[in-house]
Amino acid sequence: MIIANYFKNITKYLDLGKEIYTSPIYGCKFCGYEGMLHRHGYYSRNVITKYSIHKVNILRVKCPSCGKTHAVLPSFLIPYYQYSLEFIFECLYLSFVMKNSYSKIVNFFNSLNPDSSFTASNVSSFKKRMKENKSIVNSFFANFESFYYDMDNPNVSSILQKIEKFPKDILDFNSSFFKAMPKHFFSKV
Ligand SMILES: [Zn+2]
């Protein structure tokens, strides 16, 4: 799995289709090979955003050194989740920072996107995963002087606010996190 930061906007990504993959992809985290990875086909998957459901093409690349294939995900996605990163992040923010109730959050997303199939159990599983990721995200922020506060006893709310303040936006956070850390953001701990 590779998170690529040059696919930032889902609408543009959909408009361009496979044409978007003009830049070569470098580097295999599995074996440490730093050269260019070879294109190895596409697969299609669903993305649920705040407003609609899309089908997107995902490129697969293969490492010429170890032979492992990697999916190249645009930074608006998190591996293994159908909901877009912005959807998940907003849900977490509404719960941990804004202290909204589960029913308020569920109603909010269902009113924007009635096809989202979003339920309280989604909220609860996102929250659980975020709590599991708390320490690793906290250690990511130790790399940045401007985010070096609340480090000793961070709470999830403080961490989410750091993600929100990350230079540019959450999508840059997602690709920066992937580059700096051994695992992607929101991975199974
Ligand atoms: Zn490799």
Note the pLDDT tens digit of each residue in 94-150: 999 999 999 999 999 999 999 999 999 999 999 999 999 999 999 999 999 999 888
The rounded Å distance from CA 180 to ligand 1 centre is 18
Record the pTM: 0.90
Ligand 1 centroid vs 65 CA: distance in angstroms? Answer: 5
3-class DSSP assignment, residue 137: helix
Higher-confidence residue of 36 and 14: namely: 36
Q: Which structure tokens are listed for 21?
A: 């993959």
**Confidence band, pLDDT 50/70/90 cuts, at residue 11:** confident
Assign 189 to helix, strand or coil: coil
Q: How buried is residue 141: exposed, middle or buried, by Cβ count under 10 Å (0-12/13-18/19+)?
A: buried
**What confidence tens digit (pLDDT) does each residue in 143-179 have?**
999 998 888 888 999 999 999 999 878 888 999 999 8
Nearest alpha-carbon partner for 109 in 76, 84, 134, 78: 84
Ligand 1 centroid – CA 94 distance (Å): 39
Query: What token pair was written down for 101?
Result: 């109730």
* pLDDT at residue number 169: 80
CA of residue 62 to ligand 1 center, whole Å: 8
pLDDT of res. 21:
64
* pLDDT tens track for 61-83: 999 999 999 999 988 999 999 99
Residues with CB under 5 Å of ion ligand 1 are: 28, 30-31, 33, 63, 65-66
> pLDDT of 18-41, one tens digit each?
666 667 889 998 999 999 999 999
The helix/strand/coil state of 84 is: coil
The answer to whether 172 and 75 are in contact (CB under 8 A) is: yes
- Please give the distance, rounded to the nearest whole angstrom, from the Cα atom of residue 189 to the centre of ligand 1: 23
